[in-house]
Amino acid sequence: MKAALKATLQRIWGISRDILPSRLHVIVDHLRRHGTLPNLSDPKTFSDKIAWRKLNDHDVRMAPLIDKISAKEEMAARFGSEFTIPTIATFSSEKDVNFDILPYPCVIKASHGSNMNVFLFQRPTEEQKVRRELHRYLKFKHHAAFEEWAYSQIVPRLLVEPYVDGGAHGLIDYKLHTFHGKVFAIQVDIDRYTDHRRAFFNSDWERMSFELLYPAPPPSVEVPRPAILEEMLVRAQEIGKDFPYVRVDLYEIDKKTVFGELTFYPGAGLERFSPPGWDLKFGSNWTKLTTESLSRSQDPRTV
């Protein structure tokens, strides 16, 4: 009964949010998740600054850098093709996917959002089921769900990459939170599809004493320091120097730094820090808000 009620309320909210003005949507989302109203006139916390960015920062450079396909192209052009996972194919529609020619195992990702992946370890026996899932991804309007403006500027596509086996804990994400070109914290996610845990370290690989959304791994689980940490720091700083804040996601594959993705709105600013004082500590590193880029090219609700 509770699950059915929750699903009904989520459907009602999904309909309601799309008719709310953007500012009110951001305020309601923030209140629902944090229990407080966002400070949009003089934001101090990290969560408030993400909320502010969603409404005010229309930097046209962001969209090509969060589109998974164009971001890989730009990173390869800047740092070399070995800095990115190879691209097997791209498709504009789920109807275009040719399962005959795909090398397995592989992963198909939506270019315009997060956690929209289909892992294929062999040719699917139910191809239409996979196509329906991909169709659902392509139709999802990420910007409408979370008011993240830059996503409104992306044409949804599908990206196919080879599957990378990360071992016992899966492929580990090293997510470098970068403020004005300086790495403040390194977020490490392990066991994402089994028992998701999340730890944070500073640039000297010293554990930071807080949690964000997911619990930290127990002491018995060692979170491996990447052998190429210094190289990761350099790459993140090079990428992040042009922005007040960006999260640079990297992998360590065969002792090489490999690009994952860039995120300008992590967790849509809706993930809660524990203890909550870390929200302000993160935000204090974001010292300059910017509306550097021009104006909104079009209302995201019309895209």
CATH of 168-284, one of 3.90.1720, 3.30.470, 3.40.1350, 3.40.50: 3.30.470
Structure tokens at 136: 């659902």
Determine which helix (DSSP H) or strand (DSSP E) holds 258, and give its type and residue range.
strand 256-263
Residue 28 CB burial class (10 angstroms; 0-12, 13-18, ≥19): middle
User: Strand, coil or helix: what is 164?
Assistant: coil
CB 293 within 8 A of CB 57: yes
CB 113 within 8 A of CB 124: no
Alpha helices in the chain (DSSP H): 2-17, 22-34, 46-56, 62-66, 68-79, 127-139, 142-146, 229-240, 277-284
Domain boundaries, given as residue ranges, for the chain: 2-59, 86-162, 168-284
- One digit per residue, the tens of pLDDT, for the chain of length 303 reads 566 666 665 666 666 677 789 999 999 999 999 999 999 999 999 999 999 999 999 999 999 999 999 999 999 999 999 999 999 999 999 999 999 999 999 999 999 988 899 999 999 999 999 999 999 999 999 899 999 999 999 999 999 999 998 777 678 889 999 999 999 999 999 887 788 899 999 999 999 999 999 999 987 888 889 999 999 999 999 999 999 999 999 999 999 999 999 999 999 999 999 999 999 999 999 999 874 544 444 443 333
Q: What is the pTM of this model?
A: 0.90
